[in-house]
Amino acid sequence: MIELQRINKSYNTETTNLHVLKDLSLTIAAGEMVSLMGSSGSGKSTLLNILGILDSYDSGEYHLDGRLIRDMSEHTAALYRSKTIGFVFQSFNLIGFKTAAENVALPLYYQGVSFKKRHKMALDSLERFGLLDWAEHLPSQMSGGQNQRVAIARALVTKPRIILADEPTGALDSENSNDIIAVLNEINKEGITVVIVTHEEDIAEQTKRCVRIQDGKIISDSAVSK
């Protein structure tokens, strides 16, 4: 599903040359549930950006679902993202002036789904996460845990093959965190590949495979023992 081969990425400014990813190779098969662990500055966020086609890389090869992702125009990248990947972010990133249902329907809007149909799909997606009663609420009227579940409902509404979650529990208390991870596990059971970036051990322990990154390199890659 995801195949990274000797990926290099540096951020060059006039004064510094920051080599963030160093010859990093990683393969994630379809249906896996992987956690990417690392402290801040380890390069894990950069890696996630590259996986999500949100950023480019300098050398190496990245194949997503069998397709080489390289030198894509913004336009193609957007279309490809929209079809393949669902994102979940630490700060939820719901649009404040839209209701839960409208937020969930937004990716469908960008896929050209009609208003009626996407509203129905959004409600279905919300129902699945027990949020049907909150469909007409604005993000500011819901708790953090509810917001993150809306965000997951939004990531899933397009039926992506991969969910990329960037510190999905970072802004939540432990109870809500566990709830969110349970939700992600459930999604994974349906065959969707889930990649979670986190720095919390107990979150990583709830995934099936843990990849640790330090200084732009993978230092360990092991199955999580339950």
Partner 1 sequence: MLIDLNSWQEVFLMIRRNKLRTFLTSFSMAWGVFMLVVLLGTSKGVENNVRHNFIDDAVNSLWIYPGATSISYKNRAVDREIQFTNEDYEMIHDSIKATDKITSRIRPGIVSLSYKDKQASFDVRATHPDHLYLEKTKIVQGRFINENDMVMNRKIVVIGVPVKNALFGSEDAIGKSIHMGEALYRVVGIFKDDGSERELRKAYIPLSTAQMLHRPDGTIDQVMLTLDPNADSVEIAGDIQRLMARRHQFDEKDTQAIRVRNNKTRFEQVSDVFTWLRLFTWIVAIGTIMAGIIGVGNIMVITVKERTKEIGVRKALGATPSRLVRMVLKESMFVTICSGYIGMMFGVFVLFVVEKMGFGDKFLRDTQVDMNIVTSATLLLIIAGALAGFFPARKIAMVNPIEAMRAE
Binding site for partner 1 (CB under 8 A): 45, 49, 52, 54-55, 74-75, 78-79, 81-83, 87, 89, 91, 93-98, 102, 106-107, 109-112, 114-115, 154, 158
CB of 58 to partner 1, least distance (A): 15
Edge to edge, the sheet with strand 17-28 lists: 17-28, 2-12, 59-64, 67-68
Nearer to partner 1, 30 or 95 (CB): 95
How buried is 57 (Cβ within 10 angstroms: 0-12 exposed, 13-18 middle, 19+ buried)? Answer: buried
Element spanning 70, H or E: none
Nearer to partner 1, 53 or 210 (CB): 53
DSSP tally for the chain: helices H, then strands E: 7, 10
Instruction: State the minimum distance, in angstroms, from the CB of residue 202 to partner 1.
Output: 25
Closest CA to 163 of 127, 197, 211, 199: 197
Of 79 and 171, nearer to partner 1 (C-beta) is 79
SS3 165: strand
Residue 154 dihedral angles phi and psi, to the nearest 5° = -65, -40
Q: Identify the residue whose tokens are 């329907």.
A: 105
Which residue lies nearer to partner 1 by CB, 74 or 190? Answer: 74
Min separation Cβ 77 and partner 1, Å? 9
Residue 208 C-beta: closest distance to partner 1, Å: 25
Q: Which is nearer to partner 1, 164 or 204 (CB)?
A: 164
Q: How many beta carbons lie within 10 A of that of residue 167, not counting itself? A: 20
- Min CB(126)–partner 1 separation in Å: 16
Q: Which residues pair with 3 in a beta bridge?
A: 27, 63
Q: Residue 166 CB, nearest distance to partner 1 (Å)? A: 8
- How many whole angstroms separate alpha carbon 133 and alpha carbon 100? 10
